[in-house]
Each structure stands twice: as structure tokens, then as C-alpha cells.
Amino acid sequence: MTNKVRLLAIFLLMPLFVAFQAEAATREEVRGRGYLQCGVATGLPGFSFSDENGNWTGFDVDLCRAVAAAVLGDAKKVRNVPLTARDSFTALQSGEVDLLAHDTGWTMTRDTSLGISFAGISYYDDQGFMVAGSAGITKRGELEGAAVCVQAGTTAELNTADFFSQNGMSYKPIVVDTPDQALKGFEAGRCSVVAGNLAHLQALRSRLAEPESAVMLQERMAREAMGPVVRQGDDAWFNIVKWTLFALVNGESLRLTADNVVQMQTSADPAVRRFLGFEGIKGQGLGLADDWAARIILQVGNYGEIFERNLGQHALLKLERGPNALWYDGGLQYAPPFR
């Protein structure tokens, strides 16, 4: 091969090499750093909550832990970065965090104009209203003129404006930056109503000195699909986060739990063996160890275990699975197979 031909070949292949390097950038940066930087909300028991000692717990927190288990082999190697809804996308775009597990609703605008990608739906919810019992409000039609606390930069802020406009009603928006501020505004009487995702409203209600003083209206305002978010342009990282979520759902579907996943290594079930990394593509397509999915289940649990631990009947919020049940139990959670 002449020097001229060699240079031409390098010139033609360089874009492919650069693209491959870009695709692997976040994964290798996380590995080099030794921990995952995960953007989370604050003040939401069951989803993302930090105690006085700085210990984080919650459904979204466990999703971050699952990604760390897959990439680094250790679910503890996570640094949670508390963010408001208003600045969460900027933090992701700038590289301050590697992903968002931030109760973030999936919309067309967010998915197509912010340079970000939703890696899947981790939680289905409805949006609605929590009202002060003393206000005597029992249905949405009685919200005329109400002062409504709503978090800036959320879909609830937009949906609340749509709701009042569509129903020809006026309201006084009290726009806040954090769930804590919404809670304080509600307790202080600045607003008699808080708008948001119902599960998040339940989390805020649980923090009131007298939770029974607040009422959840049964009528819904909108539907919400939430999930982890990554930067666009890094397909390798997008696939890792996406398939981490799929691993949690598939793990539950295959009845693999934190307690039995080690014993299941002797299973003859081909679907289980593919999941555990003994057969099939293993970890090759993601650039991970062959047992990446098994480590997720062992260290964090499957989707059902995470839900029950943080949100279910044995947790503070005691939420029903509802649409977050697996498809064969009447829910919407389904994941493509490990093939």
C-alpha cells in the first residue's frame, strides 16, 4: 500500500473511529472516575430522599445504583447530585451529571430539542392536585381562583396552565423551585393546592406534620411517563442505561431476585442463562462484563423489589403497582428479551 493510499484510508476511516470514541466516552469517563454522577430530585420520600447523614434512598436512587452495578460492578459507587427541575437538563448537557433519574416526564420538546434522550419509562403516573382539607374542595371544578403551588420547569407547571385554560377557570400560580418549597408554601398557607405527579404529591403529603390535613383529589389532570435521561450522541451510554432498565424488568419477569440469583446460575432455562451471561451476546454489545445484569439483581434487586422497597405496601407511601405492574399482571411494564 502506497503512502497516498494509506493516508486516504486513514482519512476515510477517521470519522468511524471518532464516532466510536464518542459513543464510548461516558462509559469510559465513569470508569476512569470510579463513580457515577447521577442527577436526582430532593425531598421526595420513596423516589429520592437524603436523610440528615446524607444517606440517599428511593426508587430513582436505586436506578442510579443499578447503572453503577452494571458499569462499575459496585452499586455503591454513585454520587447523587441534587438538582431542581429547572436546572436538571443544563446539568446533564454540561456534563455535571452522567444521567438524570429525576422524576423527569417524557415529552416531544424535551426529546427532540434539548440534546437529550430518554432511555425508557421507569414509572407511569397521573398528575393531579393535593388540596388543604380546610379549603373544602372535593373536585377539580371547585378550584376556581385557587392559589396553586407548582414546581418550575416541570410538565405539571405546563399541564396546570392547560387545565385551567381548558376549563375556563382562573388560578394564582405560586411557582417554586423544589418540592421542599412547595411543601413549605402549602404549610404556610401561601397556596391551598399543590399540583404535580400523584406519587410525588403522596410523598409530600407524608412529610406534613398532619398528613390527614391534606386531601388528594380523585380526578386526574394528565398522564405522565417518566424515565432516565442521557445526553444525545453517546449511543454506547444510551444503550447501557436503557438495558439496565430492561434488566430490572426482565429480572422480575424471570423471577430472579437478590436472594436467588446466585442459585439460579445452575438453571437450565435458556432465557435465564442468557440473562446471567452464560450464553448469547453476554456483555459484549454493551462493553460490559458478562455478568453485568446478574450484578444488578444481586446488588439492587429486580424492578418489583425496587418498587416494593421504596414505594409499595411495605414502604411509607404504600402505592399500588397499577400501570407499573408487569404486562402479564395487567400493567404496562415490559422489556425486550435478552437475545
pLDDT at position 184 is 95
330 conformational bin, left if phi > 0, alpha if psi -120 to 50, beta if neither:
left
Helix, strand, coil in percent for the chain, rounding step 5: 45, 20, 35
CA distance 232 to 218: 38
Do residues 60 and 94 share a domain? Answer: yes
**Among residues 314, 311, 337, which one has the least CA distance to residue 324?**
311
pLDDT digits (tens, 9 = 90+) for 93-136: 999 999 999 888 999 999 999 999 999 999 999 999 999 999 89
Kind of pairing, strands 214-216 and 123-132?
A: antiparallel
pLDDT of 15-59, one tens digit each? 433 334 445 799 999 999 999 999 999 889 999 999 989 999 999
Residues 6+ apart with CB under 8 A from 190: 147, 149, 174
Kindly state whether residues 252 and 288 are assigned to the same domain. yes
Instruction: Specify if 71 maps to a domain.
Output: yes
- CATH number of the domain encompassing residue 135: 3.40.190.10
Where a domain ends, among 224, 241, 276? Answer: 224
Cα 95 from Cα 84, distance rounded (Å)? 16
The domain in which residue 178 lies consists of 126-224
- What's the structural domain count of the chain? 2
Q: SS3 of 92, please?
A: helix
Mean pLDDT score of the chain, rounded to an integer? 92
Residues 156 and 38 in one domain: no
The residue ranges of the chain whose pLDDT is under 70 are 1-23
Could you say which of 209, 224, 239 is where a domain stops?
Answer: 224
**Among 192, 224, 256, where does a domain finish?**
224
In a domain, 11, yes or no: no
Cα dist from 178 to 41, 152, 203, 319, 336, whole Å: 8, 8, 13, 22, 35
- Report pLDDT for 23: 54
For position 102, what pLDDT does the model report? 85
> Which pTM value belongs to this model?
0.90
Query: CB of 195 within 8 A of CB of 140?
Result: no
Shared domain for 192 and 157, answered yes or no, is yes
Question: Quick check: is 113 in a domain?
Answer: yes
